[in-house]
Chain A
Amino acid sequence: MLSGSETKRNALSHQEGDDMNATSAARTGADPAVSWDDLLTAALLGTDRRPWAGAAPGRAAPTALLDAAAVATVRRRAGLRPARAARRPEPAPEDPRPVLPAAAARRLATLLADRSGAAGGGRRGSAPDLMELLPQWLAAAVGHGYAAPPQALPALLDAARGRTDLRPAALAFAGPRALWLARLNTDWRFALRAAPGGGAALPGPDDAEAVERLWQEGLFAERVALLGALRAREPALARELLASTWPKERAEDRLMFLDTLRAGLAAEDEPFLEQALGDRSRNVRATAAELLSALPHSALAARMAVRAAACVALDRTGPVPAIAVEPPLECDASMERDGVVAIPPAGRGERSWWLGQLVEAAPLGSWPERLGGRTARDIVALPVADGWQGELHAAWCRAAVRQRDAGWSRALLGAPSAPEAGGPGAVSLAERAKLLAALEPAERAAWVAGFIATHGLSEAFQLLGVCAVPWAPPLGRSVVDALNIARDAGSYPWSFSGVMGLAERCLDPAEAARLEGLLAVPDEREDAAPGAGGYWAEAFQRLVSTLRLRAAMAEELAPAGAPRAPRPEGPSVQPPDAVG
């Protein structure tokens, strides 16, 4: 057994470079009187300059030096002891979630392995885009409440590091151990930033003292997270907490805090918001007004209804009833207090600008009474005098979106097969997509299906983006039919690559069987683009194999013994910013 000091010198440690080169007496050669330091000094300078004292008779000095060094080296290596253990990290918190099924764990490894090859560009071939399926897989795994396999965490964190859109789902799935891991590697700091308080749990609503302390002393990000979490569980408590320090907050903080009230907005919030209408900051005032106008029974909504009603009236003097519009003549102080912006953007008349804001903020429920007891559908059908239709309908659209009014949304959308639905009408495609969001998923899907059946796919991308995943059967059928028609029309598939990509991710896997007939390469026709048939077959192959893969993924994630039921999911993607 080596003594304490020798153990230390001869420990496997990295204090002096990569391997063991600690100079010490423990490294002596055959002659214990000669230290490793002596050997090294002699070797560095050379035996010509410093004659080697340890030379044995009959051995040349350099050879004798090498002999001694060889013995010392083997001796040192043979006597290596383990080093003293450093301070061990705190163990990672337990992850109580059930273990991921083995097949799903293998699938995850495959999806994550594809990350390296995700470089875009070029032809896509007939194989599925695995990286594109990762968000869907993560959402499903989080939905089932599985724990991530620990050895997959580094790859998950790397994937989330490269793609911010993956982060919320990837981190939710990765769980507490990923945060523990991220503290050890600076590459993954983003995970700690994303998790409020560096992953420390936020106090619950029951712990009034901790809530109060964090609210008073916490960093801005922690306070926003606290308010948001509280709002989700105890809306009133969150509002009262905010009100308690409201006058002392900075204007930009007030704006952020006010924004958290958007979630779970209810009539009880009105007094606080009404008071915020008198805020020093214009942005805070505007946000408060916007929130109040989303409450149809608020006093602000009632004031807006009166103002809007003064501008819009039923004109019965003509052969058919029509809507007559008389926009406001001025924007007075009380209107400004209620959030109306007085100065229009460049290029717009101020009176129509004011009108738009009044109609947008007025409760939609007040119009039937004002316009002769008509329904929303009848009101939208009324002619509007003097070219005000565009302005008026656009304002109603914004109101329907803000007030989430399905009846008005339906009326403003009109029939999907109407000719103006496809062209530039009073309602733009982006507004249509927002209106659709107010409808029930089935109705939404049916409307978009009807739209595609009449107008084809070229305008459909944005609308498809707000439909629930997987697409309802009628919608799926109309997309497949439209793709089939596009192929027969002789164009190339990449003109529809956006819709194709969506279909791969959103089409119900059950549709795969119906696509079989499209996989073959058709005979080239004279009017078709050269080679298009082959590319279409390839694109359909990719679609089908992606659908099969998604079906397999869903099955692997289903808990053992549970019946497979399609779970309704939210919209597949955010309404895209750009079409195409």
Chain B
Amino acid sequence: MNIVACVKQVPDTEALIKVKPDGSGIEEGGIKWVMNPYDEFGVEEALKLKEKLGGEVTVVSVGPARTMETIRTALAMGAEKGIHIDDPALYNADAYTTANALAAAIKEIPYDIIFCGQRAIDGDMGQVGSILAELLDIPQCTIVTKLDVGDGKATAVKPIEGAQLVLETSLPCVITAQKGLNEPRYASLPGIMKAKKKPVDVKNAAALGISVEPKAKIEKMTPPPARPPGKIIEGEDPAAKAAEVIRLLREEAKVI
């Protein structure tokens, strides 16, 4: 089975994200770069599938030179080879352009199933997997928490509000991974060492023959409004205090 896992390198969840003074992006100095956690679920599922059905896993990523570390991480986990699409015009590209680059690279290799994270924790767009599926003209199952592949089809569980959809699709298809799909493995040391020698193709936009014209653009980045300090709800009456918290959760925090 030919399995593809798309990965993105993102700042660690806990990294300090500071907007550049001109609002053009974030300060990258001092950031610890890691594999997007949702992509990690995808890589893990790809590896599990390979272990079950045989075949090989190719990781594909778009990003600057440092992205190679993330590709190596996936190779250390057990993927066989990598494709690194490195082109300055694609750094911080929008979802469509990124998916287009991935699609161009994936079209050049055989594929039966493609894994993506359901979203990346930096841009939080959550679009690439679906656009990729469309560009390859194959079905998609997004935000999947359980997957079963066999007999040329995939059965995926997708939670929706208050229910779960069991989706059935022919292969090839795109699966976007949600938390809960699996527990990504910790790379073994021989895996890490072997990963250094595994083949990674580096390609640019010209080699892929794709347009880098953006479809969407971040005009400006702004820091979030200063979060108000924690409030202690004072008072004697438990009912009043409870009601106030519920009101704040609805009206201020907008989380219920």
* Mutual binders A and B: no
